[in-house]
């Protein structure tokens, strides 16, 4: 463009010369201006812009007399631009605005464009470039024009226009050819015109600036064109010279090229290099490394790698889980394999993987007997519905049959079978089995009504297995017996004995025992005797608690038939076995000996009872009979002292009143009238409403008459008021007898009115007031008016001890307990325990105390009460478990974990009942609290093997197991465990599923904190910064 300046300067010289001839009158000032202008142009042409600008500015300072102002403004603006003056843009804009007709305008546009380019105002530069017609530019200026125009468009990402601009000069020979070719190739690369880009980059391989950059493009292009062999041949050499920034990406491309050509072992070192040097791996990067490990049979590395990328619900996770499952199996880790297959089977991205994963999950679940929530049955049925045309279908049906026949998760199995639409013989056979075992579970949980329903369900399919049929009938009879439905129980026991498969079973002889008890409860002692004899005659274990108990019942039957010799014989057999109810047998034997007048033998056996069983409930009974025997053998002093011992040591006993009466009789017969009067008066004054009081009045009368002291007798009667009026006593007795007779006939409505009449007449002072209160309470209780009934039971308790005290205490204590009034209930249970005659009521009192203390959180007392319960005979397995459970829970609440652990371990071997299942869970919980994570895990897995029907405690154990895995940072297993609860736990309103979801969210947070950050997959290309620095200012 400077050669054009020369032409213009000659033209201006001519004009100056011409002007001097026309205008002769120019002043000296004009001559100086002309000199300055010429000097400025001369310096401009020598590119001495600073000096040139000074002369031009001097020339422009006198604008009135200077003729070349337009040219001077032009040159001054160009100088300002070349000198990087801050006012350069102003001067150029001034010229453009004021000299629109100037022929220099095109050149000034070009200068303005370069100025904006130089200042990186690329959008402004484009506006000026677009004003230029490059035809008026020199070849060199055109090259600059096209490159800088292209670069401006490149910067603002208008790649189409940039590409066109670079195209104009990329093949020419000028200073801009090489960078133009680079950017042109880069744009082609970005547009995926890889052949064009590759051709351009290849030309630049020996360039001083671009020769170190373009190999990375070439490598990327080979990779993107899937010319993996070319990558493998070309790229490894780059690693030796690659920068720290570029080396990881080159390693990735080489590794993936080996990966894509199935040379996985060769891929591993390059993919590992990329992993080690790259902080931000994508999930795809991790998967490819894991898969390369897998194909190289590096199983442990595969597991470690792929476990990191299974938190997202996508196809990558499904593939990873499937591979992980295979690796786990290769490592004999079938538990983790099962989990991985299960998770893969729940995803729908790859149907083939889903099908095979679901099959293997069900198979492993069955083989491991790991089906806490009936997963095996659910999964197999899901498989059948999801893949009805699968080649594995026959195998699935076979496996399903095996699962039904072997499962111990009976509750879920029953539900699953009942939901089958098309029932097969195999289904019916399985249904017979699972309903039978489900019924046994319900029986053991004391849910006898539901047990009977399930035994009937099993019996409806009885044709498949005679043993299950026979046992269902027997246990149905047992259920009826527990419900006090003795006639129904008798029917089932008899039916069982005639059922094929019953004879030879362990239940066969137990049916004799059950029949004996049914008749015993019905007071048919003759029939009862017959069946109990059959039991003991056929019992193989001669010394057992059950055998001892049977001999006691045989003795009772003989006793009721007044066959006292036989009774003594059978009670003796029970005593000899010495395993159950020994104190009862000894007492009964002694009583029979007394009836046979064998008093010395009676005294011996009763003294033995007192010596051997100091805590027996029959102590006061035995002492009273012992005292009576001493009277029979004329040992009156010993008898008196024995009666007195009852009075002193057992003040709540019913035998206290009887002892006083007997003592009065002894004193009277031995002419100790004053002593007789004392004891009779004690009965009258302390037990005025008792039947013994009536006997005391009679005895008192006889003593006074014998003493010839009739006045003394009537004086005492007057002192006692109406109580001594036998006319009133007779009225009392008559009214009561009438009411009692109606009550005993079963007419409670009529009897209730008569009882009310008695109460209105005598209130609590009647001799039979305790009887009336009790019978009225019984009538109210039968009418379901429980609250009113309890008030009359309590009134009966307000009277002196009687035969109604014990049953009233039973009713009131249970009522208060059921109402949750545990403090009141305890008091009644304590009274019942101290005063009860019947062993079963004493047992109820001790058990009630135990439960009350526990519910009141009085754990020390609960522990002691439980120990007392465990010392009792004839406890059911359920009560034994409950007592140990309460001991364990009490110690657990007191943080005595080792003591609690002993109890929970003892009762959690079966886990069928809620108590057993909770104990198993608490065992695991204690180990977890003690940070014994492996033991916790083992306990939970053992819990699963128990196939408990108590799903709540199993689910809680799974939540605990998830905590174990979280503590171990095994988030893969933790998530799988929680998901199992979410997917399979059937109870939706107890908070268990919500807890599982909450824990799952916590794990996701932990994983976010620890996981490898992921970034989108990008092509890693060379940075253009160095190129920008090279060309931006040129």
3-state secondary structure 509-570: HHHHHHHHHHHHHCCCHHHHHHHHHHHHHHCCCCCCHHHHHHHHHHHHHHHHCCCHHHHHHH
Closest CA to 196 of 177, 211, 182: 182
Distance CA 567, CA 553 (A): 9
Q: Classify residue 172 by burial, with Cβ atoms within 10 Å: 0-12, 13-18, 19+.
A: middle
DSSP state of 1024: S
Query: Dihedral (C-alpha) 257, 261, 266, 269: value to the nearest 10 degrees?
Result: 40
DSSP state of 1012: P
Q: Residues 6 or more apart from 635 whose CB is under 8 A from it?
A: none
Q: Report the pLDDT value the prediction gives residue 279, as an integer from 0 to 100.
A: 83
Report the SS3 class of residue 513: helix
DSSP state of 568: H
- With beta carbons less than 8 A apart as the criterion, state whether 626 and 607 touch: yes
Neighbours of 223 (CB within 10 A): 21
Q: Burial code of 415-450, b = ≥16 C-beta within 10 A, e = fewer?
A: ebbeeeeeeeebbbbbbbbbbbbbbbbbbbbeebee
Distance CA 254, CA 223 (A): 9
Q: Which two tokens stand for residue 230?
A: 């070319």
Sign (positive or negative) of CA dihedral 65, 69, 75, 79: positive
- With beta carbons less than 8 A apart as the criterion, state whether 147 and 176 touch: yes
- With beta carbons less than 8 A apart as the criterion, state whether 311 and 1007 touch: yes
Q: Report the pLDDT value the prediction gives residue 69, as an integer from 0 to 100.
A: 67
Closest CA to 147 of 128, 131, 166, 132: 166
Cα 609 versus chain centre, distance: 54
- With beta carbons less than 8 A apart as the criterion, state whether 685 and 660 touch: no
DSSP state of 423: -
Closest CA to 774 of 740, 741, 746, 749: 740
Query: End-to-end alpha-carbon separation of the chain, Å?
Result: 16
Per domain, the residue ranges of the chain are 488-722
Cα 376 versus chain centre, distance: 19
pTM, to two decimals: 0.63
Q: Report the pLDDT value the prediction gives residue 1031, as an integer from 0 to 100.
A: 52
Element (H, E) at 507: helix 506-521
Distance CA 184, CA 163 (A): 6
- With beta carbons less than 8 A apart as the criterion, state whether 1006 and 966 touch: yes
Radius of gyration of the chain (CA): 54
Q: Report the pLDDT value the prediction gives residue 217, as an integer from 0 to 100.
A: 92
Q: How far is CA 683 from CA 214, 812, 834, in A?
A: 122, 27, 21
Distance CA 837, CA 617 (A): 6
- With beta carbons less than 8 A apart as the criterion, state whether 4 and 37 touch: no
Q: Which two tokens stand for residue 605?
A: 């056996």
Q: Residues 6 or more apart from 51 whose CB is under 8 A from it?
A: 43
- With beta carbons less than 8 A apart as the criterion, state whether 962 and 995 touch: no
Q: Report the pLDDT value the prediction gives residue 23, as an integer from 0 to 100.
A: 38
Report the SS3 class of residue 262: coil
Distance CA 34, CA 32 (A): 5
Q: Report the pLDDT value the prediction gives residue 298, as an integer from 0 to 100.
A: 95
Q: What is the 3-state secondary structure (H, E, C) of 774-832?
A: HHHHHHHHHCCCHHHHHHHHHHHHCCCCCCCHHHHHHHHHHHHHHCCCHHHHHHHHHHH
Q: Which residue matches tokens 């010596």?
A: 611
Residue-wise pLDDT for 894-949, tens only, equals: 999 999 999 999 998 888 888 999 999 999 999 999 999 999 999 998 888 887 88
Q: Which residue matches tokens 């104990």?
A: 919
Q: Classify residue 209 by burial, with Cβ atoms within 10 Å: 0-12, 13-18, 19+.
A: middle
DSSP state of 1013: P
Report the SS3 class of residue 156: coil
Closest CA to 944 of 189, 339, 183: 339
Query: Tell me, which fold does domain 488-722 have in CATH?
Result: 1.25.40
pLDDT < 50 regions, the chain: 1-29, 65, 1012-1023, 1025-1027
Distance CA 556, CA 563 (A): 10
- With beta carbons less than 8 A apart as the criterion, state whether 558 and 570 touch: yes
Q: Which residue matches tokens 């005292």?
A: 627
Q: Report the pLDDT value the prediction gives residue 725, as an integer from 0 to 100.
A: 54
């Amino acid at each position: 463009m400077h050669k054009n300046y020369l032409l213009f300067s000659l033209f201006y010289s001519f004009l100056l010369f011409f002007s001097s001839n026309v205008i002769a009158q120019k002043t000296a000032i004009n001559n100086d201006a002309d000199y300055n202008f010429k000097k400025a142009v001369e310096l401009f042409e020598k590119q001495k812009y600073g000096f040139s600008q000074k002369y031009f500015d001097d020339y422009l300072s006198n604008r009135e007399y200077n003729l070349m102002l337009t040219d001077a403004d032009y040159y001054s603006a160009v100088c300002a631009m070349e000198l990087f003056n801050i006012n350069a843009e102003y001067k150029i804009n001034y010229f453009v605005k004021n000299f629109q007709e100037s022929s220099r305008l095109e050149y000034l546009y070009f200068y303005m464009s370069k100025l904006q380019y130089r200042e990186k105002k690329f959008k402004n530069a484009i506006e000026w470039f677009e004003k230029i017609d490059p035809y008026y530019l020199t070849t060199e200026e055109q090259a600059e024009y096209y490159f800088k125009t292209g670069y401006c468009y490149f910067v603002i990402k208008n790649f189409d226009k940039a590409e066109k601009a670079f195209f104009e000069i990329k093949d020419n020979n000028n200073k801009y050819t090489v960078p133009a070719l680079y950017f042109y190739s880069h744009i082609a690369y970005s547009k995926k015109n890889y052949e064009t880009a590759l051709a351009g980059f290849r030309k630049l391989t020996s360039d001083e600036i671009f020769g170190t950059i373009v190999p990375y493009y070439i490598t990327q292009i080979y990779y993107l064109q899937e010319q993996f062999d070319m990558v493998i041949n070309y790229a490894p050499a780059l690693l030796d010279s690659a920068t720290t920034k570029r080396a990881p990406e080159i390693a990735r491309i080489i590794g993936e090229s080996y990966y894509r050509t199935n040379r996985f072992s060769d891929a591993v070192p390059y993919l590992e290099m990329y992993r080690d040097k790259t902080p931000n791996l994508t999930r795809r990067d991790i998967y490819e490394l894991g898969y390369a490990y897998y194909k190289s049979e590096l199983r442990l590395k595969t597991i470690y790698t792929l476990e990191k990328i299974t938190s997202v619900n996508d196809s990558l996770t499904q593939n990873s889980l499937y591979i992980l499952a295979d690796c786990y199996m290769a490592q004999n880790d079938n538990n983790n394999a099962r989990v991985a297959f299960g998770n893969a089977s729940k995803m729908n991205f790859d149907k083939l993987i889903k099908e095979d994963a679901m099959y293997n999950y069900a198979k492993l679940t069955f083989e491991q007997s790991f089906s806490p929530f009936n997963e095996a049955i659910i999964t197999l049925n899901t498989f059948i519905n999801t893949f009805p045309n699968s080649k594995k279908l026959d195998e699935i049906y076979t496996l399903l049959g095996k699962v039904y026949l072997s499962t111990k998760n009976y509750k879920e199995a029953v539900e699953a079978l009942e939901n089958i639409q098309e029932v097969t013989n195999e289904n019916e056979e399985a249904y017979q089995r699972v309903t039978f075992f489900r019924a046994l579970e319900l029986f053991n949980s004391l849910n006898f009504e539901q047990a009977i329903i399930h035994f009937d369900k099993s019996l409806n399919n009885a044709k498949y297995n005679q043993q299950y049929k026979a046992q269902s009938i027997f246990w149905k009879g047992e259920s009826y017996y527990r419900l006090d439905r003795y006639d129904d129980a008798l029917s089932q026991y008899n039916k069982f004995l005639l059922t094929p498969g019953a004879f030879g079973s362990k239940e066969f002889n137990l049916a004799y025992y059950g029949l004996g008890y049914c008749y015993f409860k019905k007071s048919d002692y003759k029939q009862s005797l017959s069946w109990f004899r059959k039991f003991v005659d056929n019992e193989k274990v001669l010394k057992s608690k059950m055998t001892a108990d049977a001999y006691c019942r045989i003795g009772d039957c003989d006793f009721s038939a007044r066959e006292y010799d036989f009774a003594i014989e059978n009670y003796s057999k029970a005593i000899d076995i010495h395993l159950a109810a020994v104190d009862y047998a000894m007492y009964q034997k002694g009583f029979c000996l007394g009836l046979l007048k064998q008093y010395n033998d009676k005294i011996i056996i009763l003294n033995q009872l007192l010596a051997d069983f100091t805590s027996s409930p029959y102590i006061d009974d035995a002492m009273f009979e012992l005292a009576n025997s001493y009277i029979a053998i004329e040992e009156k002093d010993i008898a008196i002292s024995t009666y007195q011992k009852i009075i002193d040591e057992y003040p709540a006993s019913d035998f206290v009143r009887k002892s006083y009466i007997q003592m009065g009789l002894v004193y009277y017969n031995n002419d100790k009238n004053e002593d007789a009067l004392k004891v009779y008066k004690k009965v009258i004054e302390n037990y005025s409403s008792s039947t013994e009081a009536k006997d005391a009045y009679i005895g008192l009368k006889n003593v006074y008459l014998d003493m010839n002291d009739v006045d003394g007798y009537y004086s005492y009667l007057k002192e006692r008021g109406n109580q001594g009026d036998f006319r009133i006593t007779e009225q009392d007795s008559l009214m009561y007898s009438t009411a009692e007779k109606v009550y005993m006939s079963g007419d409670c409505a009529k009897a209730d009115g008569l009882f009310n009449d008695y109460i209105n007449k005598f209130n609590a002072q009647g001799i039979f007031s305790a009887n009336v209160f009790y019978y009225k309470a019984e009538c109210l209780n039968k009418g379901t008016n429980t609250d009113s009934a309890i008030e009359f039971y309590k009134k009966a308790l307000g009277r002196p001890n009687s035969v109604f005290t014990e049953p009233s205490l039973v009713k009131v204590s249970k009522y208060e307990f059921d109402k949750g009034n545990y403090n009141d209930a305890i008091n009644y249970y304590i009274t019942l325990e101290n005063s009860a005659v019947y062993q079963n009521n004493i047992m109820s009192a001790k058990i009630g105390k135990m439960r009350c203390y526990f519910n009141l959180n009085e754990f020390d007392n609960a522990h002691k009460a439980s120990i007392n319960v465990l010392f009792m005979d004839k406890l059911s397995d359920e009560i034994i478990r409950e007592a140990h459970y309460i001991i364990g829970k009490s110690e657990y609440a007191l943080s005595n974990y080792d003591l609690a652990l002993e109890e929970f371990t003892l009762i959690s071997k079966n886990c069928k009942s809620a108590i057993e299942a909770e104990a198993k869970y608490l065992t695991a919980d204690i180990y977890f609290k003690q940070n014994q994570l492996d033991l916790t895990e083992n306990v939970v897995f053992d819990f699963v093997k128990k196939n408990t029907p108590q799903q709540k405690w199993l689910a809680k154990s799974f939540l605990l197991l998830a905590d174990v895995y979280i503590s171990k940072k095994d988030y893969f297993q933790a998530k799988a465990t929680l998901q199992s609860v979410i997917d399979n736990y059937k109870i939706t309103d107890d908070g268990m599923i919500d807890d599982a979801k909450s824990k799952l969210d916590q794990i996701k947070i932990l994983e976010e904190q620890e996981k490898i950050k992921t970034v989108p997959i990008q092509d890693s290309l060379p940075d253009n910064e160095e190129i920008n620095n090279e060309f931006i200012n040129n």
